[in-house]
Amino acid sequence: MPESPASLSSNERHSYLLGRRSFERGDDATALTEFRRLLETRQGFADVHYMMGVSLERQDEVRAAARSFVQALRINPDYAEARLGLASLYEREGDFQRSREITEQASAREVPRAGTLDPTTRGKLANLQADLGDAFCEAGEPGEAIDAYRKALDRCPDFHDIRQRLGLALRQAGLPNRALAEFRRVQRSHGDYPDAAVQAGLTLYTLGRADDARREWQGVLQQDPEHREAQMYLRLVR
SS3 161: helix
Are 161 and 65 in a shared domain? no
Residues 38 and 101 in one domain: yes
Distance CA 52, CA 35 (A): 7
Task: Please count the structural domains in the chain.
Answer: 3
Do 28 and 14 fall into the same domain? yes
How far is Cα 57 from Cα 32, in angstroms, rounded to an integer?
A: 12
Q: Are residues 99 and 14 in the same domain?
A: yes
- Let me know if residue 178 belongs to a domain: no
Residue 17 half-sphere exposure toward CB, CA atoms < 13 A: 9
C-alpha dist (Å) from residue 88 to 18, 36, 85, 98, 139:
27, 23, 5, 10, 26
Contact between residue 100 and residue 181 where contact means Cβ atoms under 8 Å apart: no
Per-residue confidence in pLDDT tens, the chain, 238 aa: 455 555 688 888 899 999 988 988 889 999 999 999 999 998 888 999 999 999 999 898 999 999 999 999 999 887 877 887 888 888 777 777 787 777 666 655 554 444 556 788 888 888 888 988 898 888 888 888 999 899 899 889 889 999 999 999 999 999 999 999 999 999 988 877 899 999 999 999 999 999 999 999 999 999 999 999 999 999 888 7
Among 109, 139, 163, identify where a domain stops.
109
Tell me, yes or no, whether 148 and 55 share the same domain. no
Which domain covers residue 234, as residue numbers?
A: 191-238
Contact (CB, 8 A) for 42 and 12: yes
Residue 185 domain-assigned (yes or no): no
